[in-house]
Amino acid sequence: MKKIAIYALLLLPLTMSCRKEKTNWDSDWVAPIVNDTLTFKNLVNDSTLTINGSGFYELDLTRTIIDFGIEKFIAIPDTTIVQDFNVGGSLNITPGFSIVNQVEEHTLNLEGIQLKKIRVSNGSIRLKVFNPIETIAFFTVQLPGVSKNGVPFIENYQAPAGTSSAPGIATAVLDLSGYDIDLTGVNGGEFNILQSKLQVTSDPNGPSVMLNAQDVFKVEAAFEDIKIDYARGYFGNLSISDTTDYLLEPLANLVAGTIDLPSSDIQIEVINGLKVGAKATITLVKNTNYTGNTVSLSAPQIGTPVFLDPATGSWSTLVNSTEVLAFDQTNSNVEQYLENLGKKHTLGYKIELNPWGNVSGGWNEIFPNSRLKVRIKAQMPLAVGADGLTLRDTFDFNVAQNQNVTHIESGELVLNATNAIPISAGATLFLMDDAGNIIHTVTGTSTIKSAKLGVIDPSDNLQKMNSEVSFVLTEAMILDLDLIKKVAVQVELNTPNPSSGLNEMMSIPAGAFMAVKLKARFKLRAVL
């Protein structure tokens, strides 16, 4: 009898198929989607988050906003120096005859900067020699004052025979990285001077030739893409002014609500690693939040210049000079500035080198590790008072749904959370079409409750609270799944006091976390 029953069950769908009627099966499915633990160390880097002596987190929001090196202040333009000479008449050139030209000086155009010495970190020199005589010529090219590890720059080339109208040419490209260049000229008291010296020798094994007045020996030395990492001289009364923006990405998704932060201050450090006196002015500090509201930091120090002494020391002993601008509750609107929750911050600045002129006697110096920086520092306890603070983020969504085949009949998303953070969170889903129009809104059946409503776990001494939140998908939502192309997740954060229910500032204990498990429960209908 059991076999007969089994055979009957197996034949049932075939029988129904013969009658051309569809067979439907309903089945329940549970699919895990997310199993994760969110901690504050997931959100910030280790240098941002510290723990105080009371066991609570503190924030160190130090950011370097400006960081300039030598390339910002001194640029060596591509420069070609040319040295040529002739004998000014006719001369019989015998084999091995040598002609030596005097050292020539060539001035770099550096627009008010007076350099005495530089070191090349990257760049090249493209050499080309021209031979106008009808025998091979050997060129010795010297660049006095240019050396590497104490070895002077001397290069030898062989140029083929040529004529005055079609000289023989030899070329080479040399790497100048690591070369020191003395720019003080032949007498050692000048600046921005490159030197060159040329010696030409006719082929010892070649014929005698005549050298005429129109025959010109020439060397071209093209300095290209020169970058330097050391300079000495007078860098001029250079002035740089600009604004720079930086973003706090986590605040870009805020859409509503307010936040209360503990009293704190902001410091702006201006750090001078150049052996150059300077004047710095912070001209503007402002931030703009999610509503477009802008708050400018207002204080006497904004717009008032500070004077920076030159750094001291040398290559490995360089000591920066630093000036600090402090903004607190007594001299500024710093609390209003911070609580604006700006996602975009703008800093305006003006920096002037050598505001008093050439008082160093040409001994300004910039070393490879010399930097001029502006750094913003804000240190505060990680204590937050949130009142309807709302964040929203949007994700792409695509589920094909056909009522004539296997499809979702009903379902819900279920979120289980263990919360050790003293913040409650209510979540809402917005189901949208491709244009971002909201088709349906799904509100969680409850909130993720604050850890303050839970009990202390002796294993880690953290107060914890468990919550379960469901997002029920109605029949209308299921029928519209084909139309839904985006899902916006909106979370409203609050910090309620368990006794009063009022939102208050809450300190975040070290190790605080929220463990979440998100699963989908669907009823599928199979249509055959």
pLDDT digits (tens, 9 = 90+) for 185-204: 999 999 999 999 989 999 99
In 278-397 the beta strands, taken as DSSP E runs, fall at 278-288, 294-296, 306-308, 321-327, 344-353, 364-366, 372-381, 383-396
Q: What is the mean pLDDT of the chain?
A: 82
pLDDT of residue 422: 84
Do 204 and 97 contact (CB within 8 A), yes or no?
Answer: no
> Taking the model in full, what pTM does it have?
0.66
pLDDT of residue 335: 82
Buried/exposed code over 289-316 (b: 16+ C-beta within 10 A; e: otherwise): bbeeeebebebebbeebeebebbeeeee
Give the pLDDT band of residue 120 (cuts 50, 70, 90).
very high
- The mean pLDDT of 353-357, rounded to a whole number, is 93
Q: Looking at domain 75-234, which of 3.30.1380, 2.60.120, 2.60.40, 3.30.1370 is its CATH number?
A: 2.60.120
- What is the domain partition of the chain in residue ranges? 19-45+386-527, 58-71+235-381, 75-234
Give the pLDDT band of residue 237 (cuts 50, 70, 90).
very high
Structure tokens at 245: 């923006």
Do 104 and 211 contact (CB within 8 A), yes or no?
Answer: no
pLDDT of residue 404: 64
| pLDDT over 70 (residue 344) | yes
- The mean pLDDT of 37-59, rounded to a whole number, is 59
Two domains, one topology: 19-45+386-527 and 58-71+235-381: yes
Nearest CA to 272 out of 355, 350, 353 is that of 353
pLDDT of residue 477: 83
How many C-beta atoms lie closer than 10 Å to residue 512's C-beta?
23
What is each CA distance from 526 to 17, 19, 144, 409, in whole angstroms?
A: 15, 18, 89, 10
> What is the C-alpha to C-alpha distance for residues 433 and 412, in angstroms, rounded to an integer?
20
pLDDT of residue 363: 94
pLDDT of residue 496: 80
Nearest CA to 421 out of 6, 16, 41, 2 is that of 41
Give the pLDDT band of residue 6 (cuts 50, 70, 90).
very low
Do 181 and 118 contact (CB within 8 A), yes or no?
Answer: yes
* Percent of residues, the chain, with pLDDT higher than 70: 78
Give the pLDDT band of residue 82 (cuts 50, 70, 90).
very high
Phi and psi for 270 in degrees, rounded to 5? -110, 115
Instruction: Give Dmax (Cα) for the chain.
Output: 130
- The mean pLDDT of 128-149, rounded to a whole number, is 94
Nearest CA to 466 out of 426, 427, 420, 418 is that of 418
pLDDT of residue 310: 96
Domain 19-45+386-527 has CATH 2.60.40: no
Nearest CA to 489 out of 404, 377, 369, 391 is that of 391
Instruction: Indicate the range of 134-138, 177-181, 296-300, 337-341 predicted with least confidence.
Output: 337-341
- The mean pLDDT of 96-116, rounded to a whole number, is 90
pLDDT of residue 175: 94
How many C-beta atoms lie closer than 10 Å to residue 500's C-beta?
8
How confident is the model over 455-503, as pLDDT tens digits?
898 988 888 889 898 888 888 887 887 788 887 777 777 878 888 877 7
> What is the C-alpha to C-alpha distance for residues 408 and 520, in angstroms, rounded to an integer?
12
> What is the C-alpha to C-alpha distance for residues 126 and 154, in angstroms, rounded to an integer?
14
Topology (CATH) of 58-71+235-381: Jelly Rolls (2.60.120)
> What is the C-alpha to C-alpha distance for residues 97 and 490, in angstroms, rounded to an integer?
88
Structure tokens at 511: 């190790």
Categorise residue 409: left if φ over 0, alpha if ψ from -120 to 50, beta otherwise: alpha
How confident is the model over 385-434, as pLDDT tens digits?
555 666 666 767 776 666 665 566 777 778 788 888 888 888 888 888 98
Nearest CA to 125 out of 219, 200, 226 is that of 226
pLDDT of residue 345: 86
